[in-house]
Every structure is written in C-alpha cells, then in structure tokens.
Structure 1
Amino acid sequence: MGTWRVVSAFLVTGVLGGLLGIGIQSLAWSWGQVWARIDARGAVLDPSIGILGAILAGSAFAPALYRRRIRLLGLSLLVTYTLYGGDADSVYRLLAALAGLVLGVILTSGRPRPAWYRSSYHETRTLTAAMVAVTGLGPLIVLLTGVGIGPLAPVVAGLRGVDISGITDACSQNNASAHCVAGVTTAVAAGTGVVLMSLVPLLLSLVAAWGLRAGRRAAWFLAIGVNAVMALLTGLSVATRSLREPTDVIEIDRQFPGFSVLAILVPVGMCILLAITHRRFAVRASRRAVRRFSLTIGIAFVVLTATNMILVSAVSHSPSFWSSLLTTLRRFLPTIIGRPSGHTPLTGIALALHRDVGALFWLVFAIAMVGLLLGRSRKAADDAERFRTQLRSTDGGTLGFMGTWEGNEHWFTADGRGAVAYRVANDIAIAVGDPVCTPGDTVKTIRGFLDFCDANAWTAVFYSTHEEFAPAFKDLGWKSISVAEETVVPLDRFELTGKVWTKVRQPYNRGQRDGLTTLWTTWEQLPAGLVAQLDALSEQWIAEKALPEMRFTLGGMEELRDPDVEILLAIGPEGELQAVTSWMPVWREGELVGRTLDFMRRADGAMPGVMEFAIASAALHMKEQGLEVMSLSGAPLAQTVDGDADADPGITRLLGWLSRVLEPAYGFASLLRYKGKFNPEYRPMHLFYADNGQLPAIGLAIGRAYLPNASPAEYMALARSLAG
C-alpha cells in the first residue's frame, strides 16, 4: 500500500468518520435518540477511528483470502460494538471503516480488479464461526463498558443490579442523563439479576463458534438454537411490553420499541446466514458421543430441577407441585423474559442454588456440548486392507506401503481408482507419500482428496511426495518445499566391482571372511531364538538413544510384523544377531518391482561395516529375484541439491537451520551421506501446501505426527541434545 497511502487513509477516514458521525448525531438528536443526547456533550478525539479506516482501506490491496477476512470480521466487530455499546466512538469508528472501504476502491482503481474467489468450505466455516462469536460478545461489551446505550444493550442489561429508586431520581427531570439510561436499560432486562445467567448466550455462542469452525453439525444446531431463542424471547418481550414494566418511566425514550425490533433482527439475520451455509456443516458426531451428551444433560436437568424444587418446598408454606416446578423451570431461562415469580428460598446455600441453578445447568450443557463436538465417526476397519489392494493393483511409488501403517486413515475416489493415505493432527490432514492411482487418475485423485478434506474442515498437505507430481499441484497454485531426498538404486546397475563400489565391497567381503551369514525371511517365519534376539536388539537401541522415537514415516518393530514386509538378518558365526533390515514391497500394476528399506539397526559389538554388508546382501538377493529397484528411503530435512527454486528464501533458510539443529540428535544428514555409498539416484521429496501462512500449523502437525507419544522426559532429553 505504501507509507503515503497509509497516512492519507488515516487522515481522510478519520476526518470523514468524525464529520459523518457528527451529522448523524445531529439528526439523531432531532429524532430524540438517547445516545445522541448523551454523547453530544463531549468531543471525540480517538486515533483508533483513523487507524481502523486505514486498515479497511488497506484491505483493498490484500490477497482475496485476507481481504475477505479483514472486511467481514472487522465490520462485524465494529457493528457489534455500535449496537451494544452505542457510544459516539463506536459510531465514528464504524463510519470511518465504511469510508475506508470506499477509499480502498478509489486507491486501487488503476489496478486490475482482483478475481472473485468462491470461499472454500473451510473459509466459509471460519468466517461464519467468527461472526457467531462476535455477535455473541455483546453481553461482555456491556459489562466492560459499564454503560451500554446501544440498541441491543437493554437485552443484556441484566448484567447489573436494579435500583428502582435511583432510576426514578435520575430520570425525574426527563433529561436522559447517562445514569438514567444505564438504569433504565438495567431495569428493562433485570430478570434474575445474576451475571452468570446473563452470560449464558455468550458462552453458548463461543462453544457453537468453536464447533462451526470444524464444520460440526451439532454446533450448527446450537448456533441456530441460541439465535432463534434470543429472537423469540426478545419478540415476546416487545409484544407484551414486559421489558418496560420494571420501571414506571415510560417516556424516557420513545424510540425504544424501534431499538427492540432491531434487537430481534440481529439474531434473525444470524439464523438466515446459518441456513444459507448449512451445507458447510456436515461433520456429524458418532452415535456414542450423541448418547453420552443426551445422557449427561438429561441427568443434570433432572437432578438440578428436583434439588431446587425440594429447596423451594422446604422454605415455603405448602407450595403446590406445579408452582414449585414453574418457579424452578423459569430459573433455566434467560434473564430477558423477566424476573421469575413464585416461592423463593431466602437464605444460605438454598438461596445460592436457587439463584444459580440455571447457570449451573447451562455450564454442564456447554461442557457436554464440547464433548459432543469432539466425537468423530471412524472409518470401517477394512479400509486398510482395501488400501493395500489398491496399492497392489495400481502404483503407489516406492514409499506407498507406508500408507498401510497403523495411525493412517484412508480415502478413496468414488470410482475406486485412486486412494490417499493420511493422518490428521491439529486439523491438518497430512497425506503420506504419493497418491495411489494410475498416472491418468493423478489430478482427479488429488482434487478429490482436497475436496474431502475441505468438507471435513481440515487443511490438506501432501508430505514426502515425489517431484513428478509437482505439475498437478502447480496447476492448483500450490507451493512446495523440498523436505527430504530419497536414495534409489536401480538394481541393474548394482555391482560390487570398480572403484565407485569400494566402500560397499570392502565391508561385504569382510563379512564373508568373518563368517557372517544372512537370513531373508518374514516375521512369521523367524525362529523363536532370533525373535528374542531381535526384540532385545531393538530395545537396547531405543534405550541407548534416550530420545523420542520418531514414527510417521519411520517404521518400528510393529511394522516388521506385516506379512508383506521381508526381513534380512545379518548373523554372526556364533549365531548372534548383528544387524537387521526390513524391506517394504513396491508394487506396480499387480507386480512386485522392488523393495524399500525401512527398519535398520545394528547390535553393539557388531562387525564394523555390518550395515553395508546387510544392505549389499539384500540388493544381491533382490537382483536375483528379478526386481527392478531398491530404495533406501529418504532422510528428513537432508538433501544434496539446492531446494525448490520457487520456495520462499526465508523458509529455505529456516529448514536449513532446523536440519543443522536436529543433526546432533537424529543424524539425518549423516544418514543421507551414508546412503551415498551405494551410488544411488537422488529423488527429491516435497511438502506440497496451499499457503505460506499455513506453515506454522503444518510444522506443528508434522512434528506431532513424528512424535505422537513422546513423554516429557523424552522431550527434555531432546532439548538437551539440541542445546549441545
């Protein structure tokens, strides 16, 4: 936008906001509006008026996503402050913001008009949730400002106590003083006089907003319910004039009925918005979660109602059952409908419970609703087997078998020709490896998975995905970062002759001289003695590290037990286990074409170079089987070539720093150099993502996927290792 434009926008919108505000205030004075009579007595010199105007003007220069967010959320907040607070500052800020919108259009008139982008499911949910939360903040605004004189302030004025004599004195001269208005709005909606009950709509609105952001259907029903009830109760109050009955001051403000109608329109407008966007909130809770929610609120309602009725009966003179029930039930309703009548406990705990029973129930309701919103239906247990079948029949690349591991979920295209393995952490859906499909179905599979994630309120990313898929993501406007390099050895070129193979040939020959043998097997075929040695070797390796064991794309002992995984053991002359490697299958259109290294550990005291011996032996075995390729997997955050040319330089530097910091703990760069002994081809693996602004959340999600169960002690050990 530029410095001079910012300064100009600040001055222009600040002046326009003030002038327009003064003009509207003068008209409101002549119409008898209360807020105009009060705030006309003092000057308004608030720098936030110009600041907000400049921000809204600057939104015209922002990308579509942030432009939409700034305008919609900013204006929603300003309108809420104006309707509830009602002071001149709020009105001037809103007018300055509107002037900023117009100024932004003028300042960008010479530029190409930005294309209109339809909001994604995720963006629609985010904005709707924010508007529900913002409009629910009204009671808090009244509480914090102390004097709410906006059109909607009377609806939530039960936040304060009622002093009828004080109100009468303040309004005796009919001059609409600030104290008079504050008192009237307080008396108007006094009800129970309990602050907690007055804040129930705010509490439920915030819970609903939290669930709406995640696309939850239950949150949609809650938001509809809260706004519909508020509109209904306000309408009933206006129709019966019950809002004015607590005071005898009828002539304070003849415009009050109009304000009440406006108070009805706000929740009605929210209901309309929610109805229009209802298809965006389709994530249903599991049946178990619904049953738990229903049982919780049912028990809470019965227990609290019965307890309160007993207390009412204990301190009253022979109250009828229905009278006690009516008195109790009115305590569960918002303060807007007036003060409950009937028998009332007067002292001690009975008074406290009777007064706060409604707030206590709604607190239990809110907590139970959070539990309901966390409930998620799970996929069928046979999805993993279906994914494995898909992997065999199409092409999942050299790392596709990782998608079968525990912790991954699976998505399939409607025609069953494509699949994606993923796991969700912090609402980030991390697709593992390449899409599993034939080359002709790549674009359809990727786009289908993105739509699936959008419908579930997840941010989709593809992690450890090969470079050949970059064009499909580039067409989507996505960005990429090189996060690892896979080392792939074409088996037709694997030889142990020549100078380039010296570092592999020497350990292999030494192993043969020292009497090492190999066993190519599966877990089910392992002799019991070797199983025990393998378990002991693995446990010893983990114990010596004292660092969190990384998972996600790094397999452990559980993955060795898969019947499709083959294991190569290096066994010493005395039958002792010296090293173990595991090899995942690589299928292409129903045919086994290669193996990928996963698990790799050596015993203490093993022959130097035993891992080279084991890997070389495995390569020779695969070559004899007629396989095409041996992959040594990738090393996270390690690479031998420059990163993506289009990657953000700051992000590239950050990844380089992170690689250097993690090297002492995990040795990824050293591992990549080690694999270079086998003269591999280097295949970059990327993180494909939509927006740089998502990277912090994506980084946290990937970190959680790698270390899902690390203990505090393990994190401390990792921190000490990183520190030096």
Structure 2
Amino acid sequence: MSDTDRVAESAGGPAEADVEPAGRLRSTASAIAGFAKRVPFSLTFAVLLVATAVTTGSIFGAASANTESTWAAGVGTTIERGHWWSVLTALAIPEDPFQLVAGVVLAATLLGIAELRLGTARAILAFMVTGVIGVTIGVLLQWIGSLAGEWWATGTSVDLTLDPLTGIVGALITATAFMTALWRRRIRIVAFAFVLVFVLYDGDSSNVYRLIAGLAGLALGAVLARSPSPLAPRRSSHRETRTLIATAVAITAIGPIVSLINGEELTPFAFSASLFGADVPDSDAVLAECASVASAFCDRQLALLSAQGPGVILLSFLPLVLLLLAAWGLRNGRRFALMLAVAVNIALALLAWFSFDLAATIADGEEWTGFDVGELIVWTVAAVLLPVVMALVLLVFRRQFAIRAPNRAVARFTSVVAGSFVVLAGAYLITALVTIEEFVPDATPLDVLIDTVKRFVPVHFVAAFDPIVVPVHDVTFVLYQLVGPLFWAIFVIAAVPFLSATADRSHARDRARVLANLQRGGGGSLGFMATWPGNDYWFSDDEQATVAYRVVNGIAITMSDPICPEGRDAQTIREFAAFCDRNSWVPVFYSVHDRYLPVFEALGWQHMPVGEETVVATTGLELTGKPWQKVRQALNRGIKEGLTTVWTTWDELPIATVAEINAISEEWVAEKELPEMGFTLGGMEELKDPEVRLMLAVGPDGRPQAVTSWLPTYREGVPIGWTIDFMRRADGSMNGVMEFLIASAALHMKEEGAEFLSLSGAPLATKPLAPGEEPPPATVMTRLLDWLGKTLEPAYGFTSLFRFKAKFNPEYHTISMAYPDPLALPAIGVAIGRAYLPEVSPREAVALVRTLTR
C-alpha cells in the first residue's frame, strides 16, 4: 500500500484513481522537456538567430561591412544615416559565430527562463522594450560623448553593433520581478556582476547596451508586477549570503584577464595590457643599446622586455587563480578565503591606480593634455572602484566567514608556503648576485634584492617601478621566469587542503563515535542533534557515554540528554560536571527530560522548564474521532488536490528537486527581517546527513509543496522513532499542507514499525492543563519565561507553533534546563542566546528589537 493509499484509508475514503503514486518526483530530463514546451518564443528566437546568421553570412565569420552598415546599430548608422530600424535589427543578428553560439544557448536558457516567469506575450514585450532602450540610449550616449570629446564615446562612436544578448539580458532582469527571492537575488547579482566586469574591463559598446537594458529591466519588471517591492532588497540565509558573495568574487576575478586579453580597447587596465602587446622589442638590440645608457626610451623598452616570457605571462593570471580559489573557500565560509579575497582586491585596486604611472611609462613621448589627464584619472578611479567595493562588501559580511582551520593545518600551510618562498627567493637571489655583472642595465646588490621580490608579483603590478633590470645569464634568466609561477603553484596546491580543513581528523572520528553510541541507544528523542556541526564532545573513559556541548563565554551548554547506556545517567552527568570544573566552565544541561531531574536534585542543582516536547505514539495510530477532525480535513483535501508524499534522503533527490527545495527555504528566510536561529534548530546543511530522512509533499506536477526532515532515535542500531526538525512550505501551496505532510509521515512510520513521532520541543511553551488541574505556583523564573514567550512570539512564533502541534493530539514531555549555580543565570541566558544566534549582525539585532517592540 502506498503512502497515499494509507492516507486515504485513515482519512475515511479511498484514494482517487488518478492520484499520482507516492514517490514520483520530476526527473531532470522531464523538467527539461516540460521547460521546452513552455518557451515557444525563446526557441523560435534561437532558430531566428541561426537563420539571420546564415542569411547575412555571420555564421562563417564576422559580419560583412555591408551587413553592419545596413542592419547594425551605432552613431554612424542609427543617427548619422537615419537607420532608425537598426535599434531593432541589431537585436536579431549575431555578429560572428561565437556570438551566434552564445545567442542560441542563452536564448534557449536565460530567455526561456524569462518567458517561463513572464509568459510569452510579456517576454516578447520585455525583450523588445529593454533591448530597444538599451541600444537607443547607448547610441545616444556615444553620440553626445563623442561631440564632447569623451574618450570612451569617441573611441567607440565608430563601432557598429549587432548584439542579440542585449534584449536577452533585459528580458531576464525584467522576469526577476516575478521570481522567488532566492532566484531574483541570484540572477540579478550574477547578471549585473558579469555585465559590469565587461563594461569596466572590456569597454565594448555592446556591454554598455546590456547594462542599460538590465537597468531598464528592473524598472519594467516593477511596472509589470504592479509593485515596487521587487526592487526592495530581501534578506538571505547565511548559506545563501556566502554563495552570492563567492559568486561575485569569482565573476570579478575575470575582469583583469579580460582587459589583458582585449588590450586594444579603451579601458583602465588596457594600459597594463600594453605590456603584453604584439610589438615586442628585440632583446639583443635593447640590451646592447641600454647596457650603459639610461633614458626614458630604455626604461620603456626594458619594461616591455621584462614582461616577456612564459613564466611572466603565467604569473599575470595570478589574480584570477587566487580569486577563484578564494571564491571556493568563501562558499564554504572560510576566514582565510576572506583574507585572501580582500588582499587580492586591494592589490587590484592599487594596480588600477598605478596604471596612470604605467601609462606614462609606455606612452612613447606622446603629449598629454589636461583633458586627457582628467579622462585617465576618471577611468582609473572607475577601475579602482570595483575591487574596492568588493573588498568592502567582504569586510562588511565578515561574520559570514568565521570557519577557521585547525592549528595543525595552519602550521602545515604556513611552513610549506614560507619554506618554499625562502628556498625559491634564495635560489634566485644567490644566482643573481653571483651573475650580477650580467644584468642590463648594470645592477647593484640592492637592485637585485628588490628584483627578487618582484619575481613573485605579476609584472603588470610592478613593471613601471625602478629598478628595471633584466638578467642576461641563461641560468639566472630561467630562474627569473620560474620562481614566481612555481611559488604560487605551491601556494595554491597547499591552500586547497587548508581551505578544506574544518576540524582535526580526531573531530571526525569523535562524531563517528557519537553516532555509534546513539545507535546503541541513549540521547533521547533529541539526541541526534549531537551529531550536528559546531559541537564538541566529552567521552567517558570507556567511550560508552557521550555528552555533546558548546562553550559560549565560559558556559558549557549541552544539546540533549546524556548519550549513555541505561543506568549510567548519574555517573555520566557527574563525570561531565567534573570535566567542566577542571576547565573552569559552568555546565548547563539544556533540553533534558524529566527522568534526569532527580540526578540533578541529588547534586544540589537547580532546574527549570524551558519548553514542551510534543510526542505522538505511532504504534496503533488511527486518525479517527473528533480530535483528529482537522487533520483528516487536510488529508482529504490533499488527496483531492492530487498531493502525494515521498520518504527519501537528500542524496536520492533529483537535481531539479534539490533546486526547488533550496528556493523554498530561501523564500522562507527572505520573508523574515530576523536572523536565522541555530543550536537546536537545524537548517539546510543538516538535511544532507545520510541518516536523516525527508518527507516531501509533492503536487501533481511533481514539484515539492512542502518539506520536512526527520532525525532518527535508535535502539540497537534500528530507528524506533523520528523527530521533526526542518519544516518549510512553498508559497502558494495548499492550505493545511503541513498537517497533510506530518500525518502522512506518522502513517508511514507506523507502517515501518516506528514507536513514536516527535514534533520536537516548543521553546518557552507551557503544556495545557488537564480538566480540573491547578496551575503550578508562579515563581520569578516562571513569570520571566512567560514574559519571554509572549515577547518573542511576534519574532519567532513559538506559541503559534506550539498550538499547531497540538492538532496532532500529542503527549507533552517537559524539557528542562539544569544548572549548578543560580547566580550564573544571567550569564547562562546570554550564552544560550549566543548559541541560538551565533552570527547575528547589528542590522539583524536592530530588526529583532524593532519586531519585539511593535
């Protein structure tokens, strides 16, 4: 019997015949096929690009002069010749085979995404409106700028542009107004980062047109959505913030390389690109002429000569490699990656600033007017701006990148990097000093020492700085080319494991031992949380007992009941308390059940309730009678609407479903002004544990409407119960989808032989009184907890969540906090707050206070 059939039977009726069987998720192939059927305009436009490329001949090479003069947009055609139609035709003809391939691929994907969100009619409108606006305003800026003598406008006013990507970018940005917060933010950041990089470092007309089209898309999207809210920033999860920043760093990394490759264009980095130009001076002639003569000409020729050779060229790609390495580390929250990315971006900003001096060095005696100097400064500042902004963003969000490598990994990485630098720098320095008479021009020991440092820096950073000396001796010249690339290759190779080292191997072994103890039994229904990242572990001498804890400001806070064999509760608690005492920590047992309270009372400790766990017995569970009426209504409605359920693990999910769950979670986070909570509340990362199970509510189209995760409780290695952790529902999902999903999970667990289902603890909640039961006498602490519960309700909804769980007619198990010293309560409260909100920023703290005081 499928999960859907069980649901129907318990709900009081048979499953409808056309209900999709449980377990059917959209495969990646079916998702692609369904996508293709819904984007006719995008696929038609891709075919149109091929047709226009064949007709105009650009499928075989660059568009002909006749094609450009007739159909391309630009000052010469659109304005001077009056070809008004060119702002339209430029959007439909690829300029060359490369742009044809890019246009077809992006039309079928990015334009398809836009059409999927906007619908065909509005996608056509967005493509045409933003494309025409981008090209028209771009051409006007070139025309006006060229009349004023502005460098970029003057240099590009003769360009004639064919660019289908302009309309695609504009339509995509327009469509983001109709996307979830996750994809709206991702697409806007990635798209604008790419466009800005090419505007600053390439300088081609089409890139400026795309930027203008993207900005027009923002405005058009807000108009079509009939709300300015799509323009408002939305908060993201810590994981998503790291992903976005890492992506931006990776994209901006390609900027200097684009400029170096495309050195003929007028961009700030084109000056340093001139070092790698085609006009390489003859080395023998330069060395002969400049051996004993110092002049501006010789300085320039030596600067150009010093930039030649395979090693020097390889070293020019160093910023790209280091930023890509940093982006990978930033994605994983690494502090060293943050430091590396900031350092490289500051270096790139300095390079752009010093490009003014470099331009003067290679200017070959040209006369510079005051206007030229002003233009150069403006462009240099523009190039400085991007890396500076990137460095500032990294520093502002530095709290997101707090993961440090263990001390052993730091020592290993430092010794490898420092040792290799000493060896390689020493080898070049000694060889250069031995052959010092074979440098051009004549070099002093100080010149050689400075040049040794320059061997490890990309030449476009230091080529214009004295001394400029070039070795003539063969061995010295080989080391001149080799030591820099070899050192940075060692650095990158050593950094990869360094950025992967999250903890000592012993910590990974500890987690495996914790899991083994859990599987033998112990830890209670919340015990699996002990395996989560961020915990430290205490083990008894025989390793049969475990306590998972976190130390915050000298307070050692446990996460659950002690994980130990039956009968060893008191011994385990006493031994852990002694361990904390030796380390000068205050032990606090948090979220422990009533069976342990006599142990603490015997030790003279205080304890107080901090929440209620709601537990549903699944053995013999029947969803009948009036108490289950609301749940049955949700079940019946779900069956009627074609919902099914899937019991699975993260690793078994199709790629399309993984993306949809990420989007559901991120949308949930984006709807809140408040920081995410941690400690006993898991997030996306905790879903990926292979021991954790997921229960998904799936719509008739194969898309998940709601997601829950379940943590196992073991007895002799077999799960006997499951505790809910992660709960998310998609916008627009069926009302009551969570009731449908949890009830379906309960029936599945019953079928699998599980004994109970826990809906986890409800912090600061109080179980309802039985008929005739008197409430316990109020104390200062119970009044404080009651006040906290009411105060935090607008922010986190603890009380409403507790009422939701009451629909499932659970048993209530009080969970308590035990502590040895009442005088430590203020410090304990602060420590628990920091445990739940370890990465709260000042802005999030203000948002929390604002919410609590409404």
After TM superposition, the score normalised by the length of structure 2 is 0.47
Q: Distance in 2 between matches of 1:322 and 1:67?
A: 55
Partner residue in 1 for 2:419: 299
**Offset, 1:200:** 1.1
**Offset, 1:54:** 0.4
Q: Distance in 2 between matches of 1:115 and 1:392?
A: 50
**Offset, 1:115:** 8.4
Residue 440 of structure 1, aligned match among 605, 611, 616: 611
Partner residue in 1 for 2:488: 362
Partner residue in 1 for 2:471: 345
- The aligned runs of 1:165-204 (5 Å cut-off) are 192-193=307-308, 194-204=312-322
Q: Distance in 1 between matches of 2:694 and 2:558?
A: 22
Residue 284 of structure 1, aligned match among 400, 404, 416: 404
Is the 1:466–1:685 contact (alpha carbons within 8 Å) kept by the matching residues of 2?
no
1:275 paired to 2:395: yes
- Identity among equivalent positions (%) equals 30
- The aligned runs of 1:95-174 (5 Å cut-off) are 95-109=212-226, 117-145=234-262, 147-160=264-277, 162-163=279-280
- The aligned runs of 1:551-566 (5 Å cut-off) are none
1:16 paired to 2:141: no
CA deviations on 1:465-498 (whole Å, 9 max, x unpaired) are 689999xxxxxx99336999xxxxxxxxxxxxxx
Q: Distance in 2 between matches of 1:311 and 1:220?
A: 36
Q: Structure 1 pair 417/311, CA: closer, same or farther in 2 (3 Å)? A: closer
- The aligned runs of 1:388-427 (5 Å cut-off) are 395-396=524-525, 416=557, 418-419=559-560
Partner residue in 2 for 1:718: none
Q: Structure 1 pair 41/411, CA: closer, same or farther in 2 (3 Å)? A: farther
Is the deviation greater in 94-103 or in 311-320? 311-320
CA deviations on 1:174-226 (whole Å, 9 max, x unpaired) are xxxxxxxxxxx999998634322221111111111111111111111111111
**Offset, 1:76:** 1.0
1:214 paired to 2:325: no
**Offset, 1:29:** 1.2
Is the deviation greater in 329-338 or in 112-121? 112-121
**Offset, 1:292:** 1.1
Q: Distance in 2 between matches of 1:459 and 1:158?
A: 51
Q: Distance in 2 between matches of 1:220 and 1:31?
A: 43
Partner residue in 2 for 1:374: 500
CA deviations on 1:370-392 (whole Å, 9 max, x unpaired) are 23212223486888679969998
1:333 paired to 2:457: yes
Aligned residue for 1:440, secondary structure, equals strand
Q: Distance in 1 between matches of 2:692 and 2:517?
A: 18
Is the 1:597–1:631 contact (alpha carbons within 8 Å) kept by the matching residues of 2?
no
- One-letter identity of the residue aligned with 2:462: I
Q: Structure 1 pair 190/685, CA: closer, same or farther in 2 (3 Å)? A: farther
- The aligned runs of 1:72-91 (5 Å cut-off) are 72-91=189-208
Q: Structure 1 pair 212/441, CA: closer, same or farther in 2 (3 Å)? A: farther
Q: Structure 1 pair 288/156, CA: closer, same or farther in 2 (3 Å)? A: farther
Give the superposed CA RMSD: 5.0
Q: Distance in 2 between matches of 1:421 and 1:213?
A: 34
Q: Structure 1 pair 478/218, CA: closer, same or farther in 2 (3 Å)? A: farther
**Offset, 1:88:** 0.3
Q: Distance in 2 between matches of 1:266 and 1:633?
A: 50
Is the 1:13–1:54 contact (alpha carbons within 8 Å) kept by the matching residues of 2?
yes
Q: Structure 1 pair 633/417, CA: closer, same or farther in 2 (3 Å)? A: closer
**Offset, 1:128:** 1.3
Aligned residue for 2:362, secondary structure, equals coil
Q: Structure 1 pair 136/24, CA: closer, same or farther in 2 (3 Å)? A: same
Aligned residue for 1:479, secondary structure, equals strand
After TM superposition, the score normalised by the length of structure 1 is 0.55
Aligned residue for 1:68, secondary structure, equals helix
Is the 2:687–2:709 contact (alpha carbons within 8 Å) kept by the matching residues of 1?
no
Partner residue in 1 for 2:38: none
Q: Distance in 1 between matches of 2:457 and 2:530?
A: 56
Is the deviation greater in 366-375 or in 48-57? 366-375
Q: Distance in 1 between matches of 2:143 and 2:256?
A: 28
Q: Distance in 1 between matches of 2:484 and 2:478?
A: 11
Partner residue in 2 for 1:698: none
Partner residue in 2 for 1:244: 360
Q: Distance in 2 between matches of 1:142 and 1:277?
A: 28
Is the 1:191–1:337 contact (alpha carbons within 8 Å) kept by the matching residues of 2?
no
Is the 1:216–1:284 contact (alpha carbons within 8 Å) kept by the matching residues of 2?
yes
Q: Distance in 1 between matches of 2:221 and 2:367?
A: 45
Q: Structure 1 pair 43/233, CA: closer, same or farther in 2 (3 Å)? A: closer
1:29 paired to 2:146: yes
Is the 1:13–1:96 contact (alpha carbons within 8 Å) kept by the matching residues of 2?
yes
- One-letter identity of the residue aligned with 2:253: G
**Offset, 1:265:** 2.0
Q: Structure 1 pair 466/299, CA: closer, same or farther in 2 (3 Å)? A: closer
Residue 60 of structure 1, aligned match among 167, 173, 177: 177
Q: Distance in 2 between matches of 1:188 and 1:421?
A: 69
- One-letter identity of the residue aligned with 2:360: R
Q: Distance in 1 between matches of 2:159 and 2:468?
A: 46
Is the 2:315–2:484 contact (alpha carbons within 8 Å) kept by the matching residues of 1?
yes
**Offset, 1:30:** 2.6
- One-letter identity of the residue aligned with 1:215: G
Aligned residue for 1:285, secondary structure, equals coil
- The aligned runs of 1:487-566 (5 Å cut-off) are none
Residue 188 of structure 2, aligned match among 62, 65, 71: 71
Partner residue in 1 for 2:348: 230
Is the 1:189–1:336 contact (alpha carbons within 8 Å) kept by the matching residues of 2?
no
- One-letter identity of the residue aligned with 1:396: S
Q: Structure 1 pair 76/120, CA: closer, same or farther in 2 (3 Å)? A: same
Is the 2:710–2:722 contact (alpha carbons within 8 Å) kept by the matching residues of 1?
no
Aligned residue for 1:448, secondary structure, equals coil
Partner residue in 2 for 1:658: none
Q: Structure 1 pair 22/304, CA: closer, same or farther in 2 (3 Å)? A: same
Q: Structure 1 pair 354/290, CA: closer, same or farther in 2 (3 Å)? A: same
**Offset, 1:71:** 0.7
Q: Distance in 1 between matches of 2:709 and 2:490?
A: 48
Partner residue in 1 for 2:74: none
Q: Distance in 1 between matches of 2:525 and 2:301?
A: 67
Q: Distance in 1 between matches of 2:199 and 2:262?
A: 12
Is the 1:411–1:421 contact (alpha carbons within 8 Å) kept by the matching residues of 2?
no
- One-letter identity of the residue aligned with 1:362: W
- One-letter identity of the residue aligned with 2:489: L
Is the 1:412–1:419 contact (alpha carbons within 8 Å) kept by the matching residues of 2?
no
Q: Structure 1 pair 464/366, CA: closer, same or farther in 2 (3 Å)? A: closer
Q: Distance in 2 between matches of 1:398 and 1:459?
A: 14
Is the 1:387–1:419 contact (alpha carbons within 8 Å) kept by the matching residues of 2?
no
Structure 2: tracts of 5 or more residues without a match: 1-117, 283-299, 533-538, 564-589, 594-609, 615-675, 698-703, 724-732, 742-747, 760-854
Q: Distance in 2 between matches of 1:98 and 1:60?
A: 13
Q: Structure 1 pair 417/203, CA: closer, same or farther in 2 (3 Å)? A: closer
Aligned residue for 2:379, secondary structure, equals helix
Residue 321 of structure 1, aligned match among 445, 466, 470: 445
How many residues of Structure 1 are paired with residues of Structure 2 in the alignment? 470
CA deviations on 1:616-641 (whole Å, 9 max, x unpaired) are xxxxxxxxxxxxxx95999xxxxxxx
